[in-house]
Structure 1
Amino acid sequence: MMKYAILFLFLINSCSEKTISNEEILARYNTVEAKAFINPFSFEADPMERLLLVNFEKDPDEHYVGLEPQFFNDSINGVGLLVIAWRKDMHIDVYHAKSLNPNLAKFNIAGKGLGDMVAVDFQEDLFEITDHGVQVAINFMDKWGRAIAIHLRESNSKSRKPFGLLAPMGDAAINPSSMPLVWLEDFYFIRRKATEQQVSIDGEERKLDKLPIPMDGTWMYFARYSENPWILMLNPDQHGNELKPQEHHALELILRNGQEELKSLVFYNGEKQVRLAFEPSFPNILAMELGSTAKGTFSLEPHHKGLGMIAGNYEVNKSSTDAMIKLNPSKGWIPNPDRWELKFLYKVGNVFKDWPINYEWDARIDFSMDTPIIYSTWQKR
């Protein structure tokens, strides 16, 4: 199977380096010999069936302020339940069924990172989402030997109106090893009316946080869930890895001044996909003139318009042996709300739109060897 899929290839007539705007500078090339395009961008997907986040920050436990059940059913993680316990100190503890094989590394993007990971026997492990909402009965012992119980049962006859969202999970990360893109389709809040709820730790019931505004004419808890999460990692950190073609990444290349440039990249994951597009096209770094700079903008848009998009800037600087790349989602997340409540929520809750702005990807492409090598890290500014 081809690892690179070239979607389109066409000719763009262009002259020398040109400044299009303050944000855009076309790459300048110093060779008539066509150079192969090397792609420094990549995605990784982490499959998940459904998730729920229950907050009680206004009525915290001695250690925990929130619980996040997740259910998996795939060949990577296994089959079973996992619960993230959010701590007061912004670290997380992870409790998982023994049937799961969780990857320790992926949890460093959550808050200040992983505290403890504990395999447990769940006395109850029901986590379903029906037409009426969530049906949850979870019970286990934490690392201190305390019983943690989550019981939620929605019986509201009113139809749900789920929507799409980019979860601001990356906002709490301190030392991210990638940019976490947690796209939540079929996302909704738990309704207060006709809901049986009891969340307790060590026998003490915790009061759930409440959403301060009604949604769809109904008062909600600030407990939210998705039966269709899509979790992506953009440009995971690289430490001297060879740049090679990757599966599930399709490139749309164009020709400018005889050199291939990247117009867009599409990452496919089953029926879902995300498109990373550049304007002007991302340059051919092997062919760039020494000491030259290229700048532009990018957008990151998933398959469903209701999930909105991310936008920002890129910059490339070329030297004799390497190229330095910066990627900053400076425009943040641009939502596409379909109702006034969401418009209001995103306006007063700046974290939803602004958290990507603080991320910056720095990469160095070393092409002094036969095969280009990439070193890259994410930083929060």
Structure 2
Amino acid sequence: MKEESVKLINPFRFSLEPMERLLQINFEKDPDVFYIGFEPQYYDDSTYGTGHVILGWRTDGKIDVYYQPSLKIQNKTYDTFGKGLNEKIECAFEVASFDISQKGVQALYRFTDKYGRKIKLKIHEKNFKKRSPFNLLAPVGAASQTPSYLPLVYLFDFYFVRKNHTVVDVHIGDQSHKLDNLPVTMDGMRMYFSRYSTKPLIVKFNPSSDDHMAVMSLTDGQETVRTKDCTLDIDWQGSSPAIRTLRFSNHIYPIELSFVPPFPDILTMEHNKVREGIFQISCHPSLGLLIGRYRVIKRVNSTKIKCCPTEGWSPIPEKWSLRFLYRRAPVYREWPMSYEWKAFIDERSPMNFHIRSSWKRLKH
């Protein structure tokens, strides 16, 4: 006898930004007229292309994006960076070199900015003391005003630039700029606030959408469903499937989204009923948990979903200096709390569903 097919809708999505490495160079306390920092990034991807990008963090909170013509840069990538994209500038860098070794960062960039000024960014670490990197969830979404997704920027092999035995030369036009300092020592060393990662895992959680929704088919009692980019663990509530866990695979470390109680099946959910629970997003064990609450309301032909990371990020600091840093700068733990995702799933005809979803920042 043929097993009966059961339908399921999964409203949760992850997408990957395939960056190879990044370096954040901060001089906010010694600012330029237009910029307070630069962020070199390197890509090597079949879709995005191969080459260098430099984000220019502006004094007005927006960003300018300088990029090599070999790259395909999308405006929406930068919706959640600061106050958003100011301008994209295709740039033929005179020099573009960025590598990370056991001694630290070796980076040199020379280019002309959109104001016609010569820019030089040089950081050359020559420290023979062994690095002691760690993993971090970066608070890149803290300043975003109009986010289109929740930015999960997991920085593996993350470290700050050490001050001793480091050559630094940041010039904008004929003016040099001093790098900001990290307010605490780390591993017995003084550090610049400039920092880097050799393995950035940049994931967009639930990008805003206005599109048709696919309906999944599974057999009654099926405990695992595999799609193109994720695996779902199913919990059965009678004859109705509920999503207990969703795992997003990638080239560094899988990300897991889990629900307590399991996220309900909106197809068989009773009308005018409300379901609530807790969700958490986890990655590598050293990266702790991002925790929040979800709420689902079912109407006749429409379902409303709301998710908010109300508990923020709960880190697992491996160093005393990190505990101090997280206490002194609560933005690391608190930035996700102000994000809220809402989605409306409408059944326009039998088994034909459409989703409208968006993110916003809440005032605290």
Q: TM-score, normalised by structure 1?
A: 0.89
Match of 1:267 in 2: 248
Measure how far apart 1:185 and its partner are.
0.3
CA deviation profile, 1:188-224 (whole Å, cap 9, x unmatched): 0000000000111012100100011101100000000
CA deviation profile, 1:331-367 (whole Å, cap 9, x unmatched): 1011111111111111111000000000000001112
Does residue 101 in structure 1 map to residue 72 in structure 2?
A: yes
Q: Which amino acid aligns with 1:260?
A: P
Q: CA separation in 2, counterparts of 1:110 and 1:224?
A: 17
Does residue 182 in structure 1 map to residue 163 in structure 2?
A: no
Does residue 374 in structure 1 map to residue 355 in structure 2?
A: yes
Q: Which amino acid aligns with 1:322?
A: S
> In the TM superposition, what are the counterparts of 1:1-381 in structure 2 within 5 Å?
36-244=7-215, 246-302=227-283, 304-369=284-349, 370-381=351-362
Measure how far apart 1:270 and its partner are.
2.8
Measure how far apart 1:35 and its partner are.
5.3
- Counterparts in 2 of 1:34 and 1:314: CA distance versus 1, 3 Å: farther
Q: CA separation in 2, counterparts of 1:107 and 1:243?
A: 27
Q: CA separation in 2, counterparts of 1:282 and 1:222?
A: 41
Maintained 8 Å contact 1:264/1:277: yes
Measure how far apart 1:328 and its partner are.
0.4
Measure how far apart 1:243 and its partner are.
3.0
Secondary structure in 2 matching 1:353: helix
More displaced stretch, 239-248 vs 275-284: 239-248
Maintained 8 Å contact 1:155/1:195: yes
Instruction: Please tell me the root mean square deviation across aligned C-alpha atoms, in Å.
Output: 1.3
Measure how far apart 1:257 and its partner are.
2.1
Maintained 8 Å contact 1:40/1:243: no
Q: CA separation in 1, counterparts of 2:46 and 2:139?
A: 27
Measure how far apart 1:108 and its partner are.
1.2
Secondary structure in 2 matching 1:171: helix
Q: TM-score, normalised by structure 2?
A: 0.94
Q: CA separation in 1, counterparts of 2:308 and 2:346?
A: 21
Secondary structure in 1 matching 2:333: helix
Can you give the 5+ residue segments of structure 2 that lack an aligned partner in the other structure?
217-226
Sequence identity, in percent?
Answer: 41
CA deviation profile, 1:74-126 (whole Å, cap 9, x unmatched): 11211111000000000100001111111111111111111111111111111
Q: Which amino acid aligns with 1:287?
A: T
Measure how far apart 1:374 and its partner are.
0.8
Q: CA separation in 2, counterparts of 1:218 and 1:280?
A: 46
Where does structure 1 differ by over 2 angstroms across 4 or more consecutive aligned residues?
240-246
Q: CA separation in 2, counterparts of 1:291 and 1:249?
A: 31
Q: Which amino acid aligns with 2:290?
A: I
More displaced stretch, 40-49 vs 104-113: 104-113
Secondary structure in 1 matching 2:286: helix
Maintained 8 Å contact 2:56/2:64: yes
Maintained 8 Å contact 1:141/1:147: yes
Secondary structure in 2 matching 1:347: helix
**How many residues are aligned here?**
348
Q: Which amino acid aligns with 2:288?
A: G
Q: CA separation in 2, counterparts of 1:106 and 1:174?
A: 14
Measure how far apart 1:244 and its partner are.
4.7
Q: Which amino acid aligns with 1:186?
A: D
Q: CA separation in 2, counterparts of 1:223 and 1:159?
A: 18
Maintained 8 Å contact 1:34/1:258: no
Measure how far apart 1:34 and its partner are.
8.7
